[in-house]
Amino acid sequence: MVQKTTFSAVAPVIVIDDDEFFRVAMDAVLGEWFGTHAVVTCATAEEAVEELSGGTDFGLGLVDLNMPGIDNRDLLDTLKAARPEIRLVVLSASRSREDILMALSAGAHGFISKGLGIGEAEAAIRQIAGGAVYVPPFTPQSVGAAATGDTGGQPPSAALAALTPRQMEVLRLLVAGQPNKGIARALGINPSTVKFHLSFIFQTLGVSNRVEAATMGARLLRDED
């Protein structure tokens, strides 16, 4: 059953989770945090696709992994296909490095652990809603040293392992001096997609701007070659 609650506010949010208690909790806290005028909660992927295919312009989608009857990657691909512009966020109990990288490579704008405190979760969701890409702060089985740009004495490939093949292409073009529009033209993607990839690259390499990313990227790529 799809439940809807109306609030006075900005962009609607969809929550996709087979845990009824969690859906009810998120329905309440999202309205309290953001005052969203609509929070839609769905228990299955089918319900979510039906909602996303309708006329509502959702701004944010919070989705759990391991939903019944569908592979995690297929789930994210299906949701993005139904509403390409939505800022999709995985909200999961998983701490698996593979799950984090899979979600980000599928176009999710963040991966938030259900184990985060309520304040940290709110801050993470606010970051994503504001345009940032959020990567979990914990290190066990996650992006670990690669997220800080510190290889810890390991080969350079360890620092680049968190990047998808597409992000490696973006990094190589950044190192070559291409601007965002040039990268977009070279790869046949939108400039907004380039910005998304760069946000993750910055976090992965532990840098804060294009110059630092290009400098570190040039060193890592040279050492790897």
pLDDT in tens, 151-170: 334 344 555 777 888 889 99
**Mean pLDDT computed over 205-222:** 82
Per-residue pLDDT, 7 = 34
The predicted-structure confidence for 9-58, as pLDDT tens digits, reads as follows 458 899 999 988 888 888 888 888 877 668 999 999 999 999 999 888 89
Q: Which residue has the tokens 């709110």?
A: 122
Measure the CA angle with vertex 110, ends 107 and 111; round to 5°.
Answer: 110
Measured distance CA(61)–CA(90) in Å, rounded: 8
Q: pTM for the complete prediction?
A: 0.61
State the sign of the Cα–Cα–Cα–Cα dihedral 201, 202, 204, 205: positive
Percent of the chain exceeding pLDDT 70 equals 83
Distance of alpha carbon 87 from its chain centroid, rounded? Answer: 8
- According to the model, what pLDDT value does residue 144 have? 37
pLDDT digits (tens, 9 = 90+) for 89-127: 999 888 888 888 888 888 888 899 887 777 788 888 888
Domains of the chain in start order, with CATH, are 3-129 (3.40.50.2300), 144-224 (1.10.10.10)
More confident of the two residues 196 and 2: 196
Which residues 6+ apart lie within 8 Å of 221 measured at CB? 156, 160, 171, 172, 175
Q: State the average pLDDT for the chain.
A: 80
- Whether the per-residue pLDDT at 175 is higher than 80: the answer is yes
